């Protein structure tokens, strides 16, 4: 904590003021289950606040050590930008959706009006991160936020994990598990193809 926040405080009184002001945690914990419903990153309503999200691995010490600093960023941006964090080791769906590289930890993404902006600066301190969220991100060309997974895709992922768990526990069920997985994949692809066809039809009409 001392290393990360070095240079932020001038004396012990300022440290005490910081501790008092940070008694309330304002960073949102985002997961596979609540990410899109909380952030509405793909199709945000007009006038809603942006989201600045840190993707980190709690099992990696150097990466996990950024959490206190991230809470400070959240307090700096309070009322201006929502700040959240995603624990990548237990939230595979969100991690895969945004193509988070496990070797690039932590990763910071700003979500603004349906587009996302990746923080690429070498410096990772309160001031530079705060400035990025407020205005520096505009120097980049944003990328369209990937669509959130559909209900059927959620069901597929959940069922796949359950089948794989069963297969690990009982090898005799491996053949049944593989067959069931193939069937689920086929149904998922058919439904997804139908949805894409309907969307294209709606666009052309």
Residue-wise DSSP of 62-82: HHHTTHHHHHHHHHHTTTTEE
Name the residue ranges covered by the structural domains of the chain: 12-144, 151-204
pLDDT digits (tens, 9 = 90+) for 1-22: 443 444 455 666 655 565 555 5
Residue recorded with tokens 């309907």: 198
164: pLDDT strictly greater than 70: no
Model pLDDT, residue 197: 64
Please give the helix or strand (H or E) that residue 95 lies within, else none: helix 92-97
Q: Please, which pLDDT band fits residue 28 given cuts at 50, 70 and 90?
A: very high
Higher pLDDT, 110 or 194: 110
CATH superfamily of 12-144: Glutaredoxin (3.40.30.10)
Model pLDDT, residue 3: 38
Buried b (16+ CB within 10 A) or exposed e, 16-48: eeeeeeeeeeebbebebeebbeebbbeebeeee
What does the DSSP 8-state code read for residue 147?
P
Phi-psi region of 141 (alpha: psi -120 to 50; beta: other; left: phi over 0): beta
pTM assigned to the model: 0.68
């Amino acid at each position: 904590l001392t290393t990360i926040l070095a240079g932020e405080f001038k004396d012990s009184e300022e440290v005490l003021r910081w501790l008092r002001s940070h008694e309330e945690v304002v960073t949102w914990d985002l997961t596979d289950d609540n990410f899109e419903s909380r952030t509405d990153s793909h199709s945000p309503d007009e006038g809603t606040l942006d989201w600045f999200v840190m993707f980190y691995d709690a099992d990696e010490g150097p990466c996990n050590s950024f959490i206190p600093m991230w809470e400070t960023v959240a307090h700096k941006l309070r009322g201006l930008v929502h700040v959240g964090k995603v624990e990548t080791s237990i939230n595979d769906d969100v991690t895969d959706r945004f193509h988070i590289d496990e070797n690039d930890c932590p990763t910071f993404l700003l979500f603004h009006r349906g587009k996302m902006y990746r923080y690429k600066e070498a410096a990772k301190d309160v001031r530079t991160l705060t400035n990025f969220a407020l205005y520096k991100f505009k120097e980049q060309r944003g990328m369209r936020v990937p669509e959130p997974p559909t209900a059927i895709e959620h069901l597929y992922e959940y069922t796949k994990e359950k089948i794989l768990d069963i297969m690990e526990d009982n090898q005799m069920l491996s053949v049944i598990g593989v067959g069931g997985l193939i069937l689920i994949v086929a149904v998922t692809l058919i439904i997804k193809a139908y949805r894409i066809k309907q969307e294209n039809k709606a666009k052309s009409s």
